[in-house]
């Protein structure tokens, strides 16, 4: 049971440094209103040096929070400091969701779930593909690789500027992962049915290098976990070459669902209205 929920209306946080750009308060605030629930979800800026103390208070019950999300740069520390970790976050070495249950602080990671659920909704059947290309080998890439492996992809090609990082992921996730340098990208794309960008390339109006999507298999899907802008340079390029595309905003929305259920005890819906709310917020800050 959620300890705080039994006594008073639950309060959840999103902790990061910086935190002011997080859209999670908008998402959870929308769901709390929509479901008519008593509860709150707010941003907390926690400097790296203060994070252990913040978690300590959560663990010993001094904090009024029942749990929350953690984002950059706290995902690894949250994982390390929790009392219990599920298999999903243990494999990633990073947590994005914390919750109290029976006096203990539990950690999980919902990024891979959000990634898959977004594609289930916007491109059903996406997981019938077997050969994938993942651009990038950072923290975000891990959750994506976990999701692809869990959905049965048997050839996951990880292409990264620093090939050693792609090799590290191959060691972590096993035989289905093949590491490659950026110079191999064109060749690796040949016949692949799925392409995902997990790097920051193309974010916030930055230019992205051209990629030749034409070598992908007919009917291939191209997606990007960057969602600012909604149509990233990679998605624009892929559409111009006739590929199906899915933007990354739905990953953000769907990854929030399991945390909401854990803290507030009701299952929220990812609606078109919620998506429009976040898009309007992005446009107002553009």
Binding segment (CB under 6 A) for ligand ATR, from list 49-57, 139-147, 228-236, 264-272? 139-147
For ligand ATR, the binding residue among 110, 199, 245, 255 (CB under 6 A) is: 199
**75 vs 250: CA distance, rounded Å:** 20
x/- string (CB under 6 A) for ligand ATR, residues 90-109? --------------------
Please tell me whether residue 16 binds ligand ATR under the rule CB under 6 A. Answer: no
Which CB atom, from 3 or from 168, has the smaller least distance to ligand ATR? 168
Kindly state the smallest distance separating residue 96's Cβ from ligand ATR, in Å: 11
Please tell me whether residue 141 binds ligand ATR under the rule CB under 6 A. Answer: yes
Binding segment (CB under 6 A) for ligand ATR, from list 2-10, 39-47, 114-122, 194-202? 194-202
Binding segment (CB under 6 A) for ligand ATR, from list 14-22, 143-151, 158-166, 231-239? 158-166
For ligand ATR, the binding residue among 14, 77, 82, 140 (CB under 6 A) is: 140
For ligand ATR, the binding residue among 50, 56, 102, 162 (CB under 6 A) is: 162
Q: Pick the catalytic residue: 8, 20, 75, 131?
A: 75
Please tell me whether residue 125 binds ligand ATR under the rule CB under 6 A. Answer: no
Please tell me whether residue 137 binds ligand ATR under the rule CB under 6 A. Answer: yes
- Residue 75 is among the residues annotated as catalytic for this protein: yes
**48 vs 53: CA distance, rounded Å:** 10
Size of the site for ligand ATR (CB under 6 A): 14
Which CB atom, from 137 or from 170, has the smaller least distance to ligand ATR? 137
Which CB atom, from 157 or from 199, has the smaller least distance to ligand ATR? 199
Which CB atom, from 138 or from 191, has the smaller least distance to ligand ATR? 138
Binding segment (CB under 6 A) for ligand ATR, from list 37-45, 146-154, 195-203, 249-257? 195-203
Which CB atom, from 82 or from 226, has the smaller least distance to ligand ATR? 226
Token representation of residue 206:
């930055």
**Backbone CA torsion sign across 23, 29, 31, 33:** negative
* Cβ(184)–Cβ(211) below 8 Å: no
Which CB atom, from 139 or from 215, has the smaller least distance to ligand ATR? 139
Can you give the C-alpha Rg of the chain in angstroms?
19
**280 vs 178: CA distance, rounded Å:** 39
Write out the residues near ligand ATR by the rule CB under 6 A: 136-141, 160-162, 165, 198-201
Which residues are part of the catalytic machinery? Answer: 75
């Amino acid at each position: 049971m959620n300890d705080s929920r039994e006594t008073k209306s639950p309060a959840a946080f999103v902790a990061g440094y910086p935190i002011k750009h997080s859209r999670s308060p908008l998402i959870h605030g929308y769901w709390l209103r929509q479901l008519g629930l008593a509860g709150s979800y707010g941003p907390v800026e926690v400097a790296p040096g203060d994070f252990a103390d913040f978690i300590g208070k959560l663990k010993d019950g001094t904090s009024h929070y029942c749990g929350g999300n953690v984002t950059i740069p706290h995902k690894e520390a949250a994982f390390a400091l929790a009392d219990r970790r599920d298999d999903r976050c243990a494999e990633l070495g990073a947590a994005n969701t914390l919750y109290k249950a029976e006096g203990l602080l539990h950690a999980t990671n919902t990024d891979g779930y959000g990634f898959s659920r977004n594609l289930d909704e916007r491109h059903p059947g996406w997981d019938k593909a077997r050969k994938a290309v993942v651009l990038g080998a950072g923290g975000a890439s891990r959750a994506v690789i976990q999701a692809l492996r869990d959905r049965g992809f048997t050839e996951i090609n990880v292409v990264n500027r620093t090939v050693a990082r792609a090799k590290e992921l191959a060691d972590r996730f096993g035989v289905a992962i093949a590491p490659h340098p950026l110079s191999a990208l064109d060749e690796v794309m040949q016949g692949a049915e799925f392409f995902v960008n997990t790097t920051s390339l193309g974010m916030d109006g930055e230019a992205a290098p051209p990629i030749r999507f034409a070598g992908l298999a007919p009917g291939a899907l191209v997606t990007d976990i960057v969602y600012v802008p909604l149509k990233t340079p990679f998605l624009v390029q892929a559409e111009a070459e006739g590929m199906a595309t899915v933007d990354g905003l739905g990953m953000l929305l769907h990854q929030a669902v399991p945390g909401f259920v854990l803290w507030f005890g009701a299952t929220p819906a990812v609606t078109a209205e919620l998506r429009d709310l976040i898009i309007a917020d992005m446009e107002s800050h553009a």
